[in-house]
């Protein structure tokens, strides 16, 4: 999925708008959270808007979903719509037309791309001082109706002839409503736009009515819950916070024991798992049981740790499908919280021990399951976990006295080391604190933060001798995806 986002506020000859830059930032962050590859430009000149569209055109060649968002001044000139750059010429309509981005051009670029779903969102009918100066009639203000090619939906902040509100808070009224409703789970984009329309009407007391043109042939969801995509297990197993324990069922008794946080109880109930008992247990229950085994292992239960580390041997007599359900659950627990939402930080205590099981061909189906589930959840990873792909990493260090300080970590030619939160300062100067680690300990830390098993992580140090020395890693820094 790819998105091009413009937020134009600082107009050189047309005054300053309050919120378009904020609109662009917030839409950009929201789309990135849903897995979009975004290009965002604030206060774009005519040349920058053309450049952004060219880059977007290239992205659309390899993405099935394309989204274009614009916040700022827009106008219709002789029935065609133009999105104004910050340096658009306001001398007259002809000059404005040739120094702005044509909406028709955007539509044509998207129509001719391989993308099957095209979304255009325009918060672009704010009160334009140029139109007032040209003494234009109400009928020619705002944006004109346009044709939506096949597979396209176009959302307008206003109906023809209306003006959009720049909003009372951080965002324009339309964008604020969009941000409010975009997270609604399992809601089609058409239904979302209807909810946006109601909110906009309420906020403006009916003075502003958003509208859409659509020719989508299928359903598109920004926030499709995992339970709608992953059908192997029930929604109450995926979101196990909803799982209701029934003490009459043997598998549920084991789950209860694992949830006790008492090591003696956890060790005892795991002893009830054997070839015979597992055969009688439902796959959904075994999936939840697997989640709780991994949870108990991360909490320090010796029997649960042993179960994870010796899973291949200990479960060799289980029916194939039952064995898979338990391992699916353990892998799922690494990445997903009790609401079936992706964790911001994986539960990685036994990440490498668990992923080391991929070497057994008989267990590969579970790793295919977690890879497919992570794709469905729109997770953003350096390489997709579960497929055994290698990742090359270069750790750049500087020799200081008796150790090597980590200065950068390069993946695909880009330094991915960044502050994880507030940087520490003393008297206005940034101050870094360090912990001393061996190369093996650095590899374990990188493995968890990059979400790549150690056996698939190929680390090179500069200079090479740093790998044999003591390494100082800065506190408060991470290589996790943003």
Encode pLDDT of 196-226 as tens digits.
999 988 988 888 888 888 888 778 888 877 7
Mean pLDDT of 237-259: 88
Mean pLDDT of 246-250: 86
Whether residue 456 has pLDDT greater than 80 = yes
Kindly give, in sequence order, each residue whose CB lies less than 8 Å from that of residue 184, ignoring residues fewer than 6 positions away: 191, 192, 195, 223
In the beta sheet, which residues pair with residue 477?
419
CA 176/CA 35 separation, integer angstroms: 21
Summary mean pLDDT of the chain: 87
pLDDT of residue 463: 95
Q: Are 185 and 225 in contact (CB under 8 A)?
A: yes
pLDDT of residue 139: 44
Whether residue 128 has pLDDT greater than 70 = no
Is 414 or 482 the better-scoring residue by pLDDT? 414
Whether residue 353 has pLDDT greater than 70 = yes
pLDDT of residue 167: 63
Whether residue 242 has pLDDT greater than 90 = no
pLDDT of residue 145: 66
Mean pLDDT of 269-290: 93
Kindly give, in sequence order, each residue whose CB lies less than 8 Å from that of residue 220, ignoring residues fewer than 6 positions away: 65, 117, 119, 153, 188, 189
Nearest to 221 by CA among 198, 196, 191, 179: 191
In the beta sheet, which residues pair with residue 120?
68, 154
pLDDT of residue 97: 79
pLDDT in tens, 366-407: 999 999 888 877 777 888 898 888 999 999 999 998 899 999
Whether residue 131 has pLDDT greater than 70 = no
pLDDT in tens, 6-35: 999 888 876 788 889 999 999 999 998 888
pLDDT of residue 132: 54
pLDDT of residue 137: 46
Q: Are 292 and 255 in contact (CB under 8 A)?
A: yes
Kindly give, in sequence order, each residue whose CB lies less than 8 Å from that of residue 267, ignoring residues fewer than 6 positions away: 301, 302, 303, 304
pLDDT in tens, 132-186: 555 444 445 556 667 777 889 999 888 766 666 666 788 988 999 999 999 888 7
pLDDT in tens, 222-239: 887 776 668 889 888 998
Question: Confidence band (pLDDT; 50, 70, 90) for 130?
Answer: low
């Amino acid at each position: 999925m790819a998105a091009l986002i413009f937020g134009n506020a600082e107009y050189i000859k047309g005054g300053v708008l309050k919120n378009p830059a904020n609109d662009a930032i917030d839409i950009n962050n929201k789309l990135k959270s849903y897995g979009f590859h975004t290009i965002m430009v604030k206060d774009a000149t005519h040349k920058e808007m053309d450049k952004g569209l060219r880059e977007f055109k290239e992205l659309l060649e390899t993405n099935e979903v394309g989204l274009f968002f614009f916040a700022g001044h827009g106008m219709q000139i002789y029935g065609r719509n133009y999105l104004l750059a910050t340096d658009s010429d306001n001398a007259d309509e002809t000059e404005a037309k040739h120094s702005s981005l044509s909406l028709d051009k955007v539509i044509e670029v998207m129509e001719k791309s391989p993308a099957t779903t095209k979304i255009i969102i325009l918060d672009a009918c704010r009160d334009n001082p140029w139109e007032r100066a040209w003494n234009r009639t109400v009928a020619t203000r705002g944006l004109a109706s346009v044709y939506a090619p096949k597979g396209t939906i176009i959302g307008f902040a206003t109906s023809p002839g209306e003006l959009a509100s720049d909003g009372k808070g951080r965002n324009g009224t339309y964008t604020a409503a969009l941000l409010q409703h975009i997270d609604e789970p399992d809601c089609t984009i058409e239904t979302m736009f209807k909810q946006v329309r109601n909110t906009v009407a309420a906020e403006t007391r009916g003075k502003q009515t958003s509208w859409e043109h659509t020719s989508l042939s299928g359903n598109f969801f920004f926030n499709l819950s995992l339970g709608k995509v992953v059908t192997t297990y029930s929604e109450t197993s995926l979101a196990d916070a909803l799982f209701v324990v029934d003490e009459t069922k043997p598998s549920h008794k084991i789950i209860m024991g694992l949830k006790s946080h008492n090591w003696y109880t956890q060790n005892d109930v795991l002893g009830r798992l054997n070839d015979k008992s597992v055969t009688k247990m439902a796959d959904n229950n075994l999936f939840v049981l697997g989640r709780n085994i991994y949870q108990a292992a991360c909490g320090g239960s010796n029997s649960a740790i042993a179960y994870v580390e010796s899973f291949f041997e200990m479960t060799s007599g289980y029916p194939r499908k039952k064995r898979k359900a338990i391992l699916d659950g353990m892998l799922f627990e690494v990445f997903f919280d009790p609401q079936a939402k992706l964790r911001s930080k994986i539960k990685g205590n036994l990440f490498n021990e668990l992923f080391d099981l991929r070497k057994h061909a008989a267990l590969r189906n579970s790793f295919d399951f977690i890879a497919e589930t992570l794709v469905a959840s729109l997770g953003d990873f350096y390489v997709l976990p579960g497929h055994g792909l290698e990742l090359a990493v270069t750790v750049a260090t500087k020799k200081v006295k008796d150790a090597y300080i980590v200065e950068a970590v390069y993946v695909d030619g880009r330094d991915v080391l960044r502050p994880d939160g507030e940087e520490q300062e003393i008297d206005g100067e940034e101050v870094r604190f360090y912990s001393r680690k061996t190369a093996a300990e650095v590899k374990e830390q990188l493995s968890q933060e990059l979400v790549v098993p150690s056996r698939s992580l190929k680390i090179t140090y500069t200079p090479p001798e740093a790998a044999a020395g003591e390494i100082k890693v800065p506190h408060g820094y991470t290589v996790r995806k943003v």
